[in-house]
Amino acid sequence: VLVCSHNHDLERETDSTGWVNELLMVDIEQVKTGLFSHPDNQQDIPTLSAVIKATPSHIRLNIEIKFDGVFDFSTAAALASMIKTGGISHPVLISSFNPFIVLYVRWMIPSVRTGYLVETPDMMKWIHVVHPDCFHPQADLLTSDVLEMCREKNLPLNVWTVNSCPAIKYCKQSNFQAVITDNPSALSI
């Protein structure tokens, strides 16, 4: 069963310990998340199926694949199976920090758009190998060279995590495809 959790380690945001990928579903069902970020409104860790069911079908899902090791394709394989059997009817963008997962998704589900997440400059070299449909750099990695490369490759930018109003305004003026933020109210500027 695929679950939706931003963090691998449960100590960061839940009332549990250990690693989410090491628990049985019966144990995950007992975990409450939001312990630190919204303690008055803690929630269960949802399954991907539950999130899909609760999301209107016209909404594009940006599903980030986490991994336990560089060649851990277990989540990507389960997601590919879910898509191929009709378990997801939404438009989908699958992203990962792992370039091998991006390649795997491009190979196993060529009809699905991919995004390569980057948090350090040395990760950028892989963009020329994996050829993602979208580039998801951490906002502070945006340089004139990166912007020029994306223009040359006609590569849409989905920038993260952008929380200030001036930075979001810059992203909008620059016609980035998407801005990932923890401050959704700033998107209305």
Phi, psi of 115, deg, nearest 5: -135, 135
**Same domain as 160, residue 85:** yes
Average pLDDT of the residues of the chain: 94
Residues 151 and 99 in one domain: yes
Residues 99 and 173 in one domain: yes
How many structural domains compose the chain? 2
How does pLDDT run across 9-41, given as a tens digit for each residue?
A: 999 999 999 999 999 999 999 999 999 988 999
What band does 6 get if pLDDT is binned at 50, 70 and 90? confident
Domain that holds residue 109: 57-188
| Residues 103 and 155 reside in one and the same domain | yes
Using CA atoms, how far apart are residues 29 and 14, in angstroms rounded to an integer?
A: 12
Same domain, 104 and 37: no
Residue 189 has pLDDT above 80, yes or no: no
| pTM (2 d.p.) | 0.91
Q: Are 36 and 65 contained in the same domain?
A: no
Is the same domain home to 178 and 119? Answer: yes
Give the Cα separation of 179 and 147 in Å (integer): 15
